[in-house]
Structure 1
Amino acid sequence: MSQSQTAAPNPAQARTVGPVIIEAESVTKSFTNPDGRALPVLDAISFSLAEGEIVALLGKSGSGKSTLLRCVAGLIAPSGGTVAYRGTPLNGANPGVAMIFQSFALLPWLTVQQNVELGLQARGVPEAERRERALKAIDLIGLDGFESAYPKELSGGMRQRVGFARAIVVEPDALLMDEPFSALDVLTAENLRNELVGLWEGHEAPVKSILIVTHNIEEAVLLADRILVLSSNPGRIKAELAVELPRPRDRHAPRFESIVDTVYGILTGREDRATAAIAVAEHPTDGVPRPARPAPTPINTPLPVVSPGGMAGLLEILAARGGEDGLAEIADELNFEIDDLLPLVDAAVMLGLAGTKGARLEITADGREFAAADILTSKQLFARHAVAHAPLVRAIAQALTATEDHTLREGFFLDLLRRGYSTEEARQQLETAIDWGRYGELFDYDRDDAEFTLDPSAYPALVGTA
């Protein structure tokens, strides 16, 4: 069946929004770092999920969307605020939900049927009824004939189908999905998304609502009735958008592309808003002084996890396209998702080499110079911009200048980063800084000794930054 945005929905099948199933009120969540400091992940998040709707939680890495989903499931307790299921605050696992995980989470020693029966067995459902319901769910998601197969015998798409069957067999009020398609190849993911829409629209799946976590903008617009866009570090709801398009939805329809552009603009528009906020703080229109934005630090301004070469490639493409273009157009031509380009955009904007205007990206004069430079000059330019605009790179280089032998062990920086990041995130930030510092010939890193060393050629870039 071909997708068409203009296809009229079947009135007999159309879903209506009913009573609220889940309500989150001012949910805050912090974790404790190894040194005992609190690491805020979610900040005062409030939203509801009602019968008859699909809601997407959309955000970049660090937005806490998976943590929020686990709070909704009752797998972790919020540090503040409440999550209620049909008006009753949770005090443990949510009885009305089932989850589908990114990593499939199947037990390898059990067959497909046994994996699907797990939830029913935990609820004390008799064996005969378990078998009947499991076989019906397996048939519904297209795995009839594989009941006795083990997970190792299945492809990734088939294993995720088992995850779907295991979730819907318990007939939950709300189906919670945590990046359910991100571990699959593009074609398999697209096929499963379409089948999910078909089951939902045909009222075949025994669920009343769906809450899906994703970082993929197009996926959110394809599936959701509402999109909650989360900011990062800590996660807050930045915007809520209604997607009033009939299903199935056409990616290339103007209204679909317009919504994608709007969401993209929300995700990438923070620099413009931050600049406006600073202007108001410094020159308030009502005469009342505002507090200035805190200075960028390695904690409040994380490095986008991209390579300098990848960012340079984006700038070269942008320069070749006249210096300005929409990210959707660039992504479409390169056969990438917009989301794949977002970290590269963040890096270019951070270094002052590009800027965003809504859903469009525009190269700056510095960006043009960088894109046109030979390799040696590009390294020098990158070093200068990294020291000026990337707080962690600058902090490492400056710390190295302060030691007698211009060396420092990595533990010094990891301990500092863990004050604001999880252990895994701190490691990722440091690895990105190593990549950037090496490219700009600011410092080197000896992995055997876990030690940083200042590059003698770094001094010109560091002049005036101490």
Structure 2
Amino acid sequence: MQAKTKGESLVRLLNVGKAYRQPNGQVISIMENIDLELRTGEIVALLGPSGSGKSTLMRIITGLVAPTSGQVLYREQPMQGLNPGAAIVFQSSALYPWLTVLENVELGLKALGEGPRSRRRKALRMIDIIGLDGFENAYPKELSGGMRQRVGFARALAVEPELLCMDEPFSALDVLTAENLRFELLDLWLEHKIPTQSILIVTHHIEEAVILADRIIVLGSNPGRVRADFPVTLPHYRDRKNPEFQATVDRIYKILTNPHVDELEELEPRPTTIASPQEPRYPLLPHVRIGSIAGLLELLEHRKEDLYRIAQELQLELDDILPIVEGAQMMELVELKEGDISVTPIGNAFIQGDIDQRKLIIRQQLLKHIRLVQQIHTFLMAKQNHRIPESLVLDILERHFTPQEAERQLNTAIDWGRYAELFGYDEPSKEIFLEVSEPEEPLPLETTAV
């Protein structure tokens, strides 16, 4: 089945950036240099790791958040305030529990000043289209999760938006309900049963993006930026077993697992500009435990496997498996080439080792590769009592991250350091302290960079 004809520009972002100023005056950049266009007649999927600014970007497009720099155009005119042609479906249905289905769907129309008769007619029509006929007078507590999300869709579509924005709309649903809703939405789009001219969906589900989208945009993180923007030419409805479908999924995994290579750099090189001197960005640690990394290594023993297949085998979504892989990569325990993941010699030594040998391997890799752990260890060694307050490290981290992210970064470093018996943490005093142990000879490992 053919999708709607793609046409004119609906929304354009020109060199858009978003930053927040911390109470200490430090500016934290969430995203930088975002250039993208949403056109009529297309479904666009926005993918990226946690912290890449996907939801923030959607809120900039809808006018809920103002950019710090750059410009947003709607129908080629500078956008001031809310986007007049956009509506949002959130991850949770966000219904008012004291209102009926009909009253919830009427809310957007009421806010636009529609009269009672007109908004009732439009709301009932959309309730019927979305498959909730007969539940007009039901309250949210009487509905299943899937039905509540349908109400959210009906409410957004009732105002007849040109652009429908969806922020992970299926992620809170069970697998079967989510799959059913995806294809029902696709039916409505392909059969022109809804007035929407363009759809933007934020998702962490790669297959969902390939199933629905005519175009996929992949964001990078720290700060958020567009790393890839490419069309999906497969006709609807798409078969997951189709080799081209699987090749597209593999392509996205390759982009996401090679954060230093942007497809845009290869396809559309930008003019070289001289950047102003800037402090190097602080490496972002993935929020994963060593136990999760160990589990991945055990699964990969004697295997070189496509990361997409590993994710399917583990039944993990993008935001679940990528941090584990990134943590293993940072410690040189796994190697990624062209989307295939395999264990390095150091990773194999970890798999074969007993608990003490595993701890020693992690200790060596942390001190060799993880800047935050190196700094904490250096501070502890420099102190006569080998103790430092956590506030010392947080003050440094908050120059690079929000206070919440700085705390998560410190917690991750402490968790990794504890596993490796490099340092411990005293909760009552909020102090990090050096673990005292006998000097150890390094394991005879092959440590050639991979």
Which of 29, 52, 57 is the equivalent residue of 2:18?
29
* Paired residues, number: 430
CA 387–156 in structure 1, closer or farther in 2 if over 3 Å, else same: farther
Which of 408, 426, 434 is the equivalent residue of 1:446?
426
Question: For structure 1, which segment, 145-154 or 353-362, has the greater mean C-alpha deviation from structure 2 after superposition?
Answer: 145-154
CA 460–181 in structure 1, closer or farther in 2 if over 3 Å, else same: farther
Q: Which runs of 5+ in 2 are unaligned?
A: 263-273, 443-450
Which of 32, 41, 52 is the equivalent residue of 1:43?
32
Which of 190, 202, 206 is the equivalent residue of 1:201?
190
Name the residue aligned to 2:311: 331
**For the Cα contact (< 8 Å) 1:22–1:48, is it kept in 2?**
yes
Name the residue aligned to 1:183: 172
**For the Cα contact (< 8 Å) 1:441–1:458, is it kept in 2?**
no
Matched, 1:305 2:287: yes
**For the Cα contact (< 8 Å) 2:334–2:347, is it kept in 1?**
yes
CA 440–51 in structure 1, closer or farther in 2 if over 3 Å, else same: same
- Deviation of 1:453 after TM superposition, in Å, equals 1.8
- Deviation of 1:173 after TM superposition, in Å, equals 0.4
CA 433–198 in structure 1, closer or farther in 2 if over 3 Å, else same: same
Question: For structure 1, which segment, 48-57 or 111-120, has the greater mean C-alpha deviation from structure 2 after superposition?
Answer: 111-120
- Deviation of 1:36 after TM superposition, in Å, equals 1.3
- Cα distance per residue 1:76-109 (max 9 Å; x no partner): 1111111111011111000000011113222233
Q: What is the alpha-carbon distance in structure 2 between the residues aligned to residue 147 and residue 210 of structure 1?
A: 26
Q: What is the alpha-carbon distance in structure 2 between the residues aligned to residue 184 and residue 413 of structure 1?
A: 39
Query: Mapping of 1:416-435 within 5 angstroms?
Result: 416-435=396-415
- Deviation of 1:378 after TM superposition, in Å, equals 0.5
% same residue = 51
Q: Which runs of 5+ in 1 are unaligned?
A: 1-8, 274-289
Query: 2:286 is matched by which residue type in structure 1?
Result: P
**For the Cα contact (< 8 Å) 1:41–1:233, is it kept in 2?**
yes
Query: 2:34 is matched by which residue type in structure 1?
Result: I
TM-score, normalising length from structure 2?
0.90
Structure 2 residue matching 1:270: 3-state secondary structure: coil
Query: 1:418 is matched by which residue type in structure 2?
Result: E
Matched, 1:403 2:383: yes
CA 128–447 in structure 1, closer or farther in 2 if over 3 Å, else same: farther
Matched, 1:436 2:416: yes
Which of 84, 87, 91 is the equivalent residue of 2:76?
87
Structure 2 residue matching 1:312: 3-state secondary structure: helix
TM-score, normalising length from structure 1?
0.87
- Deviation of 1:141 after TM superposition, in Å, equals 1.9
Structure 1 residue matching 2:437: 3-state secondary structure: helix
Q: What is the alpha-carbon distance in structure 1 between the residues aligned to residue 161 and residue 342 of structure 2?
A: 46
Name the residue aligned to 2:365: 385
- Deviation of 1:461 after TM superposition, in Å, equals 9.7
Q: What is the alpha-carbon distance in structure 1 between the residues aligned to residue 403 and residue 397 of structure 2?
A: 8
Query: 1:440 is matched by which residue type in structure 2?
Result: A
Query: 2:388 is matched by which residue type in structure 1?
Result: L
CA 458–58 in structure 1, closer or farther in 2 if over 3 Å, else same: farther
CA 269–240 in structure 1, closer or farther in 2 if over 3 Å, else same: same
Query: 1:340 is matched by which residue type in structure 2?
Result: D
Query: Mapping of 1:176-325 within 5 angstroms?
Result: 176-270=165-259, 300-321=282-303, 324-325=304-305
**For the Cα contact (< 8 Å) 1:59–1:215, is it kept in 2?**
yes
- Cα distance per residue 1:314-333 (max 9 Å; x no partner): 11111142xx1111222223
- Deviation of 1:294 after TM superposition, in Å, equals 9.7
CA RMSD of aligned residues (A): 2.3
